[in-house]
Amino acid sequence: MTMLGPILAQIAEEMAALPESGVSADYILELARIDPDQFAIAVVTADGQTFTAGLSDTAFTIQSVSKVFALALSLGHVGDALWQRVGVEPSGQRFDSILQLEQERGRPRNPFINAGAIVVTDTLLDGCVPREALGGMLRFVREAAEDDSILIDPAVAKSEIATGARNFALAHYMKSHGNLVHAPELVLGTYFHQCAIEMNVVQLARAGRFLASLPDVPQLVSPERVRRINALMVTCGHYDGSGDFAFRVGLPGKSGVGGGILAIAPGRASIAVWSPGLNVYGNSLRGTVALERLAALTGWSVFG
């Protein structure tokens, strides 16, 4: 799409002029001190072109966007057996809620809330130590992005361990129901490091190409699994804000509390946005508005 350059420039300008930018995540100290007004967007299209606007060189931790890559990897390891331990329904609750876990006997609603992602990471530790599991995860995203420079930010992982009491509560609760095989400390150590994978928007958009089924990119997952991951991104990718995101944007998407969002226009483009200020659901405020504008200006909504 030839007009994409000017469209992205226009969106970046509009985002800078928005009266509000939201608040950076406050429960992870390393994220709390990041300026919430920053903004970047990158779009990789089916013909292999990359378009950007804003701070497209600035790296951020992908946080919960990593749940998409972890899910793809886990399905490769354990296949559909995963769905015995994790559901495929939206939770309608905050990303770190413990509420449904007791009612549903330690089986998380879906793989994109924290509890579900912790189970997914547990499966990645079968037969290996955390270092190896993280190595496998990094290899996967590097291969997806065709970029070996992608790394983990250890300071953010460490900072999250320091304030991770809620995630420890979720892990221990699931362990009590037999839905965690490995020790909570090992699973969460791995999970926090996977959340601290650092990328800029170009790297993230490239890493998402396999989900958009773009031609001539590494196809790391079968078409059937790509379809299902996209379905879960629509229904669960933004926690209790998933309905709002589908309504406003109309693309499969996954957000992270670092302010990144990966959005997929199937067959057309892989899109990454970043703006650290969050809305009430804990999803990037300007990132969501930017995607809403992009979908409106391109007509890329999957709902026509």
Q: What share of the chain is helix, strand, coil (3-state, %, to 5)?
A: 50, 10, 40
Active site residue 27: no
Is 27 annotated as contributing to ligand binding? no
User: Which CB atom, from 45 or from 242, has the smaller least distance to ligand GLN?
Assistant: 242
Side chain identity, residue 301? S
Is the CB of residue 164 less than 8 Å from the CB of residue 192? yes
Closest approach of ligand GLN to the CB of residue 176, in Å: 20
Distance (Å) of CA 133 to CA 178, 193, 234, 268: 21, 10, 27, 32
Is 257 annotated as contributing to ligand binding? yes
Q: How many whole angstroms from its chain centre is CA 16? A: 24
Active site residue 67: yes
User: Which CB atom, from 67 or from 268, has the smaller least distance to ligand GLN?
Assistant: 67
Active site residue 239: yes
User: Which CB atom, from 187 or from 264, has the smaller least distance to ligand GLN?
Assistant: 187
Active site residue 64: yes
Is 179 annotated as contributing to ligand binding? no
Closest approach of ligand GLN to the CB of residue 125, in Å: 17
Which among 43, 67, 226, 254 is annotated as catalytic? Answer: 67
Active site residue 191: yes
The token duo for 164 is 């991770």
Which among 201, 217, 239, 255 is annotated as catalytic? Answer: 239
The token duo for 27 is 């429960």
Give residues in contact with ligand GLN (CB under 6 A): 63-64, 95-96, 114, 160, 167, 195, 256-257, 282
Is 191 annotated as contributing to ligand binding? yes
Distance (Å) of CA 250 to CA 41, 62, 288: 17, 21, 11
Distance (Å) of CA 16 to CA 8, 13, 204, 287: 12, 5, 22, 11
Which among 24, 56, 64, 66 is annotated as catalytic? Answer: 64
Side chain identity, residue 212? A
Measure the CA–CA gap between 83 and 35, rounded to whole angstroms. Answer: 39
Which residues are identified as catalytic? Answer: 64, 67, 191, 239, 257
Binding residue ranges: 64, 114, 160, 167, 191, 239, 257
Binding residue ranges for substrate: 64, 114, 160, 167, 191, 239, 257
